[in-house]
Amino acid sequence: MTDRDPAIVIEGLCKRYGEKRALDGFDLTVGAGTVQGLLGPNGAGKTTAVRIMSTLLRPDGGRVEVAGADVRTRAAEVRARIGLLGQNAAVDEELGGRQNLEMFGRLHHLGARRAGARADELLARFGLADAGSKAVAKYSGGMRRRLDLAASLIRRPRVLFLDEPTTGLDPRGRAEVWDAVRSLVDGGTTVLLTTQYLEEADQLADRIAVIDRGRVVAEGTADELKSRTGGDRIDVVLRDAAQLARVAALLPGEVRMDEDRRMVSAAVADRTAALTGTVRALAAAGIEAEDIALRRPTLDEAFLHLTKGAAA
Amino acid sequence: MSAIHDTDTAPAAGSRLGWAVADSWTMTRRELAHWARRPAQVVVGLLFPVMMLLMFGFLIGGGRGVDGDFRAYLVPGMLTMTMAFGLEATMLAVTQDLGKGVVDRFRSMPMNSGAVLVGRSVADMLQSAVGLLVMTAVGYAVGWRWHEGYASFLGALGLLLLLRFAMLWIGIHLAMVAGTPDMVQAVQILVWPVGFLSNAIASPASMPPWLGAVVEWNPLSATATAVRGLFGNPGAGGDSWAAAHAGLLAVAWPVALVAVFFPLAVKRFRDLGR
Ligand SMILES: Nc1ncnc2c1ncn2[C@@H]1O[C@H](COP(=O)(O)OP(=O)(O)OP(=O)(O)O)[C@@H](O)[C@H]1O
Ligand SMILES: [Mg+2]
């Protein structure tokens, strides 16, 4: 495998649970050293895909290659090259944090001494040094998640899977995880990340795949996905909600009204022309605006647009 | 971050067995560490069979149809029964473990895939060996004796642990078939009649002939009878083939059970992702 080869190649992946098709012709290619976001509503198949890529689950059909090895036929090699932070905590709750990391180090065949040293290093790095001997069952949710992440980094993996890494974390915990991910990526690790937080995908991911009902429905950079939702918009916030309809009539193109926020929003093609045109039209009609803003669609809007009609 | 870079040291073929042993030992240490964190539960686990022994020996009194010294008859029977009921402890531990996320981590790591099960079995065997020693010590304290020397004594412990080993793999397999801890409880209830339908605490001579035959062929009865012989304690008697060849059956039964359930359990574990 060279550095230019993709880190993950998935073609026509299928997985069924009884009658339920969790993955149904899932295709994805992830470039080495990039961060790939996986977005999708609940039940879209994100966790199923991650479990297959990390050799925990056998696919029913299709081809999955991770770090240059097929997950079905060369699982041992895949396991030596990946790290996994699953959706649910995957540490031994009864043991202490240090005991956990040391055990995983031994199972990664570091040998007793290196495993111990690595455990201390990771505990310090994730701010868990003081809690090292405390049973994990007594950890807070954030501490547990950090320990879990530390456990997926015992050997620096070539490909790291993060299934909703920051769900349930406070903003500080979230920022810590993000920092850890960024520094790994700087070191050349490929990251595949599923998340419910669009901001997280926007912040971390180079490319985002939106998945719905077991297949990828859109793929691209955050900007590409946003523009696919239908370009820029102009938002006009009024002092007086009674004037909403009048303003809506003044604006060209497809217009949305939001009574609660006293806002009219319209799709625009030419940003500058739309801005000057709107200001003039409002002045001519004698309507006072509280705020006028041009903006790109948010990833939330893109997400809702792309997964429209999904039975969550 | 000072990283450990050699991300894909695939073990050479020759060292694979070495790693399998090392991984199994790591998994055994994990169980020992669990015990160290809940000593009270370990002590209760050891004392429960002792309590049963004392209860049957002193409160409930003589067994049905047993001639002579009941306690001399009872102690080997209770040792046998304790080994058999180890099945429950194994089942419970395995289902609880498989329900935890940590098994996912084990399965996604480059470790030997059987080590999780081997670790469980070594730990359970260690606990059972300690349990046997505690029970024989208590038996000794209440007047039970063995009469055939140390070699026979060790032979008897060996037969008991062999039975435990068979129960272990049955337990691991049933736990994976049952899946959830609730289902385990249902299976556990079935262990009791099997345990008591043996000559562990009563003599088949006192039972209706059809029941007596079932009891004599019970693997527990074979072990109990063979162990009584090795200790020089009074036996259940009987002139059936099974009673006459108890020593042979005490080896054959567990070996056959392991031969069936060990591969089934390992296959189940390997197929967890299917
Ligand atoms: N073990 C299972 N047995 C049966 N059905 C399952 C199982 N695991 C997942 N499913 C189903 O497969 C589909 C995909 O589930 P999956 O967990 O992959 O979704 P997800 O995108 O990770 O959802 P979430 O955002 O809620 O984590 C869902 O409809 C789910 O109900
Ligand atoms: Mg999920």
- Whether residue A237 sits in one domain with residue A89: no
What is the predicted pLDDT for the residue at B6?
Answer: 45
What is the predicted pLDDT for the residue at B67?
Answer: 64
Q: Which of A 71-100 lie inside 8 A of B, CB atoms?
A: 76-77, 79-82, 84, 86, 88-95, 99
What's the average model confidence in pLDDT over B138-147? 90
User: Longest Cα pair distance anywhere in chain B, in angstroms?
Assistant: 74
Nearest by CB to residue A90, choosing from B1, B101, B273, is: B101
- Whether residue A39 sits in one domain with residue A161: yes
Q: Is residue A115, in this structure, part of any structural domain at all?
A: no
Q: Is residue A74, in this structure, part of any structural domain at all?
A: yes
> Quick check: CB of A46 below 6 Å from ligand 1?
yes
Quick one: three-class SS letters along B226-258?
HHHHHHCCCCCCCCCHHHHCHHHHHHHHHHHHH
- Whether residue A153 sits in one domain with residue A83: yes
Q: Is residue A138, in this structure, part of any structural domain at all?
A: no
How far is the CA of A176 from the CAs of A131, A143, A183, B129, B270, in angstroms? 17, 11, 11, 47, 36
User: Which residues are within 8 A (CB) of A253 and not within 5 positions of it... i.e. 6 or more apart?
Assistant: A266, A267, A268, A269
pLDDT digits (tens, 9 = 90+) for A112-158: 999 999 999 999 999 899 999 999 999 998 899 999 999 999 998 99
- Whether residue A191 sits in one domain with residue A266: no
- Whether residue A286 sits in one domain with residue A192: no
pLDDT digits (tens, 9 = 90+) for B181-205: 777 788 778 888 888 888 888 888 8
- Whether residue A218 sits in one domain with residue A186: yes
What is the predicted pLDDT for the residue at B65?
Answer: 63
A203 secondary structure, DSSP code: H
- Whether residue A151 sits in one domain with residue A291: no
User: Which residues are within 8 A (CB) of A2 and not within 5 positions of it... i.e. 6 or more apart?
Assistant: none
Q: Which of B8, B27, B111 to mutate to test the interface with A (most CBs of A within 10 A)?
A: B8
Of the candidates A226, A260, A284, which is a domain's last residue?
A226
CATH code for position A260 = 3.30.70.120
> What does the radius of gyration of chain A's CA atoms come to, in whole angstroms?
24
Range of the domain at A87: 8-93+147-226
Q: How far apart are the first and last CA of chain A?
A: 39
**Confidence band for A199, pLDDT divided at 50, 70 and 90:** confident
> Quick check: CB of A48 below 6 Å from ligand 1?
yes
- Whether residue A156 sits in one domain with residue A44: yes
Q: Is residue A266, in this structure, part of any structural domain at all?
A: yes
**DSSP H or E run through A309:** none
Q: Which residues of B127-138 are buried (b: 16+ CB within 10 A; e: fewer)?
A: bbeebbebbbeb
Q: Is residue A113, in this structure, part of any structural domain at all?
A: no
- What are residue A162's phi and psi, to 5 degrees? -125, 110
CATH code for position A28 = 3.40.50.300
What's the average model confidence in pLDDT over A6-34? 96
Q: How far apart are the first and last CA of chain B?
A: 37
- Whether residue A258 sits in one domain with residue A158: no
Q: In the structure encoding, which two tokens stand for residue A132, read together?
A: 């090292």
**A163 alpha carbon, closest ligand:** 2
Domain count, chain A: 2
- A43 Cα: distance to centroid of ligand 1 (angstroms): 5
Closest ligand 1 atom to A196 CA: 25
pLDDT digits (tens, 9 = 90+) for B31-49: 999 999 999 999 998 999 9
B36 — contact with chain A (CB < 8 Å)?
no
The answer to whether residue B62 scores a pLDDT higher than 70 is: no
User: Which residues are within 8 A (CB) of A309 and not within 5 positions of it... i.e. 6 or more apart?
Assistant: none
- Whether residue A173 sits in one domain with residue A65: yes
**Confidence band for B13, pLDDT divided at 50, 70 and 90:** low
The answer to whether residue A168 scores a pLDDT higher than 50 is: yes
A192-196, B9-13, B222-226: least confidently modelled range: B9-13
d(CA B147, CA B22): 40
* pLDDT, averaged across chain A: 90
Are A173 and A270 in contact by the 8 Å Cβ rule? The answer is: no
Are B202 and B119 in contact by the 8 Å Cβ rule? The answer is: no
- A205 Cα: distance to centroid of ligand 2 (angstroms): 18
Nearest by CB to residue A92, choosing from B30, B107, B274, is: B30
Q: Which of A 207-246 lie inside 8 A of B, CB atoms?
A: none
- Whether residue A169 sits in one domain with residue A75: yes
Are A267 and A231 in contact by the 8 Å Cβ rule? The answer is: yes
Residues of B in contact with A106 (CB under 8 A): 22-23, 26
Answer yes or no: do B37 and A110 touch at CB < 8 A: no
**CA-based nearest residue to B76, from B56, B61, B102:** B56
What's the average model confidence in pLDDT over B4-9? 45
Q: Is residue A260, in this structure, part of any structural domain at all?
A: yes
d(CA B29, CA B37): 12
pTM above 0.80, yes or no: yes
Q: In the structure encoding, which two tokens stand for residue B64, read together?
A: 């049905």
Q: Is residue A169, in this structure, part of any structural domain at all?
A: yes
Closest ligand 1 atom to A48 CA: 18
What is the predicted pLDDT for the residue at A165?
Answer: 93
Of the candidates A179, A209, A226, which is a domain's last residue?
A226
For A128, the 3-state DSSP assignment is coil
- Whether residue A172 sits in one domain with residue A51: yes
Residue B176 identity:
M
How far is the CA of A12 from the CAs of A46, A56, A67, in angstroms? 15, 18, 18
Of the candidates A210, A226, A242, which is a domain's last residue?
A226
Nearest by CB to residue A157, choosing from B1, B7, B34, is: B7
Q: Is residue A19, in this structure, part of any structural domain at all?
A: yes
A96 secondary structure, DSSP code: B
A70-79, A128-137, B55-64, B113-122: least confidently modelled range: B55-64
A262-276, B97-111, B177-191, B250-264: least confidently modelled range: B177-191
**CA-based nearest residue to B253, from B237, B263, B268, B242:** B242
Q: In the structure encoding, which two tokens stand for residue B184, read together?
A: 């385990």
Which residue puts its alpha carbon closest to atom 28 of ligand 1?
A43
User: Residues B195, B200, B203, B204: what is their CA dihedral angle, to the nearest 10 degrees?
Assistant: 40
A221 secondary structure, DSSP code: -
